[in-house]
Chain A
Amino acid sequence: MSQPHPLQAFLSRIPLFATLTSEDLPDILRALRPRSMREGETIFRQDDAGEAAYVVETGAVEIRLGETGELVVARMGPGEVFGELALIDGASRSATAVCVESGTLHRLDKTEFDFLRRNLRPAAYKVLRVLAVTVSERVRETNDHIARALAPDAPVAGAPAAAAAPGDAGGVRGFFTRLAFWSKS
């Protein structure tokens, strides 16, 4: 009788892997590798090829935009996933990820993930389906942004007062901040 894998409980609490059964787990585990990270270390840079997704076990990672990484878009802690959209099509990174608290990451390699995908392993497609929901949410949000850009003078219900500063036509700054937020994957 085999013991449950030490990572099993940890993974089962992460939404990206929530639909995996115990039969699916070995597939994902073969694509996951632990890796330590040091404070100050760059995990990946904006425009790098998207080669892996990352799960934080311990420590923290900041997602940043801008040439000098001045715009911090998100902070990812234990149990959180980042860079996962690269698993879909390997698109280049839209942001930079920097370790701000030393700890351990689990790296889900895209090449291994694609192997599972080519072999029609349910594990890969269950993960892909969760990623699809993320993409779908962003498609809808983008649709709403488009609608607002096409009617810039209409009042936006529930918009915080700070979103559109005087002279900031169409809430451009607010939009850019939201755009940055989407980049965290």
Chain B
Amino acid sequence: MSGPALERLPLFKGLGDEALQALRGVVRQRTCKAGEVLFTEGDRAREMFILLAGNVSIFKRLPDAREECLATLVPGALVGELALIDGQPRSASARISGGEASLLVLARDDFDRLFRANKPFAFLVLDRIVVELSGRLRRATARLGEAAAENTPAARAQQARDAAMSLLGVDLTQFDLGEIDLDAIEVEIAPLEQRMRGRRG
């Protein structure tokens, strides 16, 4: 495998050595069990996640008190990225679906600190996230416009579901990640004392 494992994630691709070094200092790896709750709608948002292995399902509370699954995210996806931008309460819930999952965790406070210190890594990550979100928002808005034009509640609901997928970024062809080397990532980011303590559950 050529190049650091972290750099193979789309969000960090081409970041450069200095930025990757800063990233390694703050990002952590977490392993979650099937069914584990990552965050609940309305929670304070303190972290962004990048899914490395496994699946995460996103749920939204509807006005009629039902909870609907909007999408299931696959490795490479960002989860809860709005936390880095505005720190507002979570707009949806996220749970580990299927089997065990592995995620990278970036805390809002760490990101804020690096951004205020004008660190290129923080600038580049913000840039990539806002460009991606902007594109998703446009596609989702277009879908909702189509929903408004539909004649039946069922057709409107279907367009709304497609809009949800667009908003979560799962409407595009998934990029080919190749193999994400989890062990290589963990070795790359964990300081020696954490490696000695073993993987965090």
Chain B contact surface mostly: helix
> Quick one: CB contact mask for B104-147 with A, threshold 8 Å, 1 for yes?
00000000000100101001101101110111111011001101
B124 to chain A, nearest CB (A): 8
A136 touches B82 (CB 8 A): yes
* A38 at interface by CB-CB < 8 Å: no
Q: Specify the chain A residue showing the minimal Cβ separation from B162.
A: A146
Chain A interface extent, by class:
35 or more
Residues on the B chain within 8 Å of A169, using CB: 153, 156
B135 touches A89 (CB 8 A): yes
Binds A, one of B25-33, B83-91, B94-102, B180-188: B83-91
Residues on the A chain within 8 Å of B1, using CB: none
A136 touches B85 (CB 8 A): yes
A153 touches B148 (CB 8 A): no
Binds A, one of B5-13, B46-54, B60-68, B190-198: B60-68
Which A residues have a C-beta under 8 Å from some C-beta of B? 85, 88-89, 91, 117, 120, 122, 125, 128-129, 131-133, 135-140, 142-157, 169-170, 172, 175-176, 179, 182
Q: Report which of A85, A120, A145, A175 forms a contact with B134, defined as CB distance below 8 A.
A: A85
Cα separation A96 to B156 with both chains bound (whole Å): 28
Q: Report which of B115, B137, B144, B148 forms a contact with A139, defined as CB distance below 8 A.
A: B137
A45 to chain B, nearest CB (A): 18
